[in-house]
Structure 1
Amino acid sequence: MTMLTSPEFWLALSQIILINIVLSGDNAVVIALASRSLPPQQQKMAILAGSVGAIVLRIVLTFFAVYLLSLPYLKLAGAALLLWIGIGLLKGEDGDEDLEGHSNLAAAIKTIIVADLVMSLDNVIGVAAAAKGNIVLLVVGLAVSIPLIIYGSTLILKVMTRFPIIITFGAALLGWVAGEMAFSDPSIHTWAESHHNLHLIPPVLCAMLVVAVGKWMQSRNAGARVEHAS
């Protein structure tokens, strides 16, 4: 109880919540993208289950964050995975209409958790630093962020329904994050430091790659469905 009356506790908790608000924007986009094709009731389930699962994994990841971020090639692998997820979310369904609803729901939840886990590699450092080793503070702070992410993804999903172009921007955002992640990998740290003026090129190229490949696959899938229908 002494901890709850400490100004330092509430200051650190406020910092963690603020960090999560700032860093949850891209995660909310991923959740909205992954659940957009589900029926309304399953959308709510996917958003809730995906958000809770992602937060739990983020808590676990935080304890190993400093060690994980020092491993060479881990960010490069994570960047490649994000590119694949971004392209997959943009290209849309690929003959999944015949799948049962729970299969689509499970796939959406898996995509949300995997994408959030990869995108959290850098984010958890800020949270871990604010918590200063206080496990209770860490868990409470991340738990409070769950409704923030859920509300954000629900809002983005509604806007996405009215303005489909946001889907493209969301996929491009994943590509951008992938480019930033790849450029900060320890295996190329020395080269990246000496070429810091190029730091915007990988994110831009990766964002363009996701949109280009995703749109091409989306067009190809649409053509295949028309050909199959005829």
Structure 2
Amino acid sequence: MLALITSPEAWAALVTLTVMEIVLGIDNVVFISLLVQRLPQRQALRARQIGLSLALVLRIALLFALSWLIGLQQSLFVGFGIDISWRDLILIAGGAFLVAKATMEMHAAVEGDAEEDGDGDERPSAVAGRAFTLIIGQVAVLDLVFSVDSILTAIGMAEHIEVMVAAVIVAVGIMFWASGPLSSFIAQHPTAKMLALAFLLMVGVMLVADGFDVHIPRGYVYAAMAFSVMVEMLNVAAAGRRQRRRRAPPGPGLD
């Protein structure tokens, strides 16, 4: 352990893996932040805590089951002229779920939230409890997909599992810290919510394509989304400045 602490190579691998895990975890944080919008504030915080805790536990568990995880890449059958493995099936199913969920959320945002709160006789607490359980279930499913994708990508970037575990812990810690402000920003700006849904839709398509052995460079997707976020931030700043100007009292000498 002391040799790792004093090794420049280990520290370089830790920094590289941490950055990579944060980048790969962005979609995980966005998905959780969007889902918890429908919950009361206290339950939303609890859902974010559970969701990111599951992400941490699953990633560490997969690191200690590398041989089993690598076995997921072995071919099961040939379909559409390509070898399909368990990893491919997980990515295809997870990506399809993400596409469907993002599309439904976009429809609800455009057409108006038509969700029913349950029968008139049903207690609000029961409805809220069912919604919380459903959201945690969806988060758990996507946590598994993102964790498999993240850890398989990280394999080979570090020689020591201790370095990989440390990188995962640091990355999830940063994701947890960022999830609160991100969730609040999405809740306050409807256009940001639509942008986040578009990002998840693209990630879902990318996962499905990856499952069918069609690799879309993630850098292109993330660069496009980063540019869109910059434009959205400029729009938010401009809107805020216009509101401040409207609220400001007229200058002296003006009727």
CA shift, 1:34, in A, is 1.1
Give 1:163 deviation, angstroms: 0.5
The superposition leaves residues 61-80 of structure 1 with CA deviations (integer Å, 9 ceiling, x where unpaired) of: 45244433455151322322
TM-score, length of structure 2 as denominator length: 0.65
Question: Which stretch has the larger CA shift, 149-158 or 74-83?
Answer: 74-83
Report how far residue 53 of structure 1 moved. 0.4
The number of residue pairs the alignment matches comes to 190
1 or 2, which has the higher helix percentage? Answer: 1
Cα deviation, residue 176, structure 1 = 1.0
Using the alignment, how far apart are the partners of 1:151 and 1:100 within structure 2? 29
Distance change (3 Å), C-alpha of 1:78 and 1:106: same
The aligned residue for residue 162 of structure 1 is 188
Query: 2:153 maps to which residue?
Result: 126
Aligned equivalents of 1:168, 1:48: Cα separation in 2: 24
Gaps of 5+ in 1: 201-230
Please, what is the CA RMSD of the aligned residues? Answer: 2.6
Amino acid aligned to 2:26: G
92, 116, 121: which one pairs with 1:76?
Answer: 92
**Which amino acid is 1:171 matched to?**
L
CA drift of 1:159 comes to 0.8
1:19 Cα deviation from its structure 2 partner: 0.8
Worse-superposed segment, 29-38 or 145-154? 145-154
Give the distance between the partners of 1:183 and 1:141, measured in 2 at CA.
27
Q: Which amino acid aligns with 1:86?
A: A
**In 1, Cα distance between equivalents of 2:200 and 2:41:** 24
**Residues 119 and 177 of structure 1 are in contact (CA less than 8 Å); yes or no, is this contact kept in structure 2?**
no
2:62 pairs with 1:57? no
Q: Is the 8 A contact 1:69 1:121 kept in 2?
A: no
Shift of 1:36: 1.0
Alignment of 1:28-107 (within 5 A): 28-62=29-63, 63=66, 64-71=68-75, 72=84, 73-74=88-89, 75-90=91-106, 91=108, 94-96=115-117, 98=124, 99-107=126-134
User: Are 1:16 and 2:43 counterparts?
Assistant: no
Q: CA separation in 1, counterparts of 2:141 and 2:114?
A: 18
Separation in 2 of the partners of 1:26 and 1:93? 26
**Percent identical across equivalent pairs?**
26
Whole-Å Cα distance in 1 between the matches of residues 114 and 135 of structure 2? 11
TM-score (norm 1): 0.71
Going from structure 1 to structure 2, the CA distance change for 1:93 and 1:36 (only over 3 Å counts) comes to: farther
Q: Aligned letter for 1:113?
A: A
- Partner in structure 2 of residue 226 of structure 1: none
Paired letter, 1:31: I
- Which structure has the larger Rg over C-alpha atoms? 2
Q: Which amino acid aligns with 1:68?
A: L
Alignment counterpart, residue 109 of structure 1, candidates 133, 136, 148 = 136
Between stretches 42-51 and 70-79, larger displacement belongs to: 70-79
Shift of 1:96: 4.1
In the other structure, the counterpart of 1:173 is 199
**CA distance in 1: counterparts of 2:21 and 2:40, whole angstroms:** 28
Runs of 4+ in 1 over 4 A off after TM superposition: none
1-side partners of 2:22 and 2:150: how far apart? 11
Match of 2:243 in 1: none
